[in-house]
């Protein structure tokens, strides 16, 4: 596959950003363009530069496609990651407008906030656990749109892992010992998906070390105060006509959002 030229990279990146602003994502893929995953990462980074130049702020990262089945479906051999943006971070109980999203779809997961910068050479499970300030239940919002041909990995990466926002629950602090929890995704009081017997910390932070090393390859360091979404256990589920979205965890609490 031929690498994108600089002009192509800039053209695609500006169109991705225009699509984001107009709430009509991924129009470039309607022409069934074919790009490599590596070029898709380059597009995501170029769009990031454009957004930062106009004053937007990265506040952390999401880990996605943690299951091998999802990776196979997307044409990956490893997870994916995307940036989190300050103006897309919302508090528990927020009310949001569906019209600000394209096919809004939700995932239930956990997030951690770091208490120090992470040194890639030192990273292991114990180091990561000692670097966690707080743990949160999370609703992750996606624009679930794919216009290209499968597998959709490059399209997903170019569109910042189809990330569209985070609703963050109240923090759990302190030294959380190894414990079992559940996690539920609920639409209008109906349980949509449930995950049982998830063990803290192994099932929650298993891919954070991978993220740290991936970021170090491009000169990024995960910093104190960064929010890291540790990875969902299922695929994004469209809310369609549903309004009240809740995520509950027996160990880490609850978070909700209303879409009107």
CA distance 44 to 68: 23
Residues of the chain with pLDDT under 50: none
Strand arrangement, sheet containing 253-259: 94-96, 253-259, 244-249, 179-187, 190-200
- Residues 58-259, CATH architecture: Alpha-Beta Complex (3.90)
Q: What six digits make up the tokens of 172?
A: 């759990």
Closest CA to 245 of 82, 112, 101: 101
What would the pLDDT profile of 140-180 be if each residue is shown by its tens digit?
999 999 999 999 999 999 999 999 999 999 999 977 888 99
Q: Structural domain boundaries of the chain?
A: 58-259
What would the pLDDT profile of 22-50 be if each residue is shown by its tens digit?
999 999 999 999 999 999 999 999 999 99
């Amino acid at each position: 596959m031929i690498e994108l030229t600089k002009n192509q990279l800039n053209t695609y990146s500006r169109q991705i950003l225009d699509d984001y602003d107009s709430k009509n994502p991924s129009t470039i893929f309607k022409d069934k363009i074919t790009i490599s995953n590596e070029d898709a990462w380059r597009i995501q980074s170029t769009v990031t530069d454009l957004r930062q130049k106009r004053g937007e702020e990265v506040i952390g990262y999401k880990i996605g496609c943690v299951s091998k089945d999802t990776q196979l479906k997307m044409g990956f051999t490893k997870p994916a990651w995307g940036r989190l943006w300050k103006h897309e971070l919302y508090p528990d109980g927020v009310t949001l407008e569906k019209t600000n999203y394209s096919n809004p779809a939700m995932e239930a997961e956990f997030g951690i906030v770091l208490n120090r910068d992470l040194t890639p050479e030192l990273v292991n499970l114990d180091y990561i656990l000692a670097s966690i300030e707080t743990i949160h239940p999370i609703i992750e919002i996606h624009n679930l749109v794919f216009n290209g041909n499968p597998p959709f990995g490059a399209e997903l990466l170019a569109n910042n892992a189809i990330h569209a926002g985070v609703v963050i629950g109240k923090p759990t602090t302190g030294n959380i010992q190894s414990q079992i929890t559940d996690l539920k995704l609920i639409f209008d009081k109906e349980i949509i998906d449930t995950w049982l017997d998830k063990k803290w910390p192994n099932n929650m932070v298993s891919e954070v070390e991978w993220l740290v090393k991936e970021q170090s390859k491009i000169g990024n360091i995960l910093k104190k105060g960064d929010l890291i979404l540790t990875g969902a256990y299922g695929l994004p589920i469209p809310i369609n006509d549903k309004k009240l979205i809740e995520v509950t965890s027996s160990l880490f609490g609850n978070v909700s959002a209303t879409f009107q």
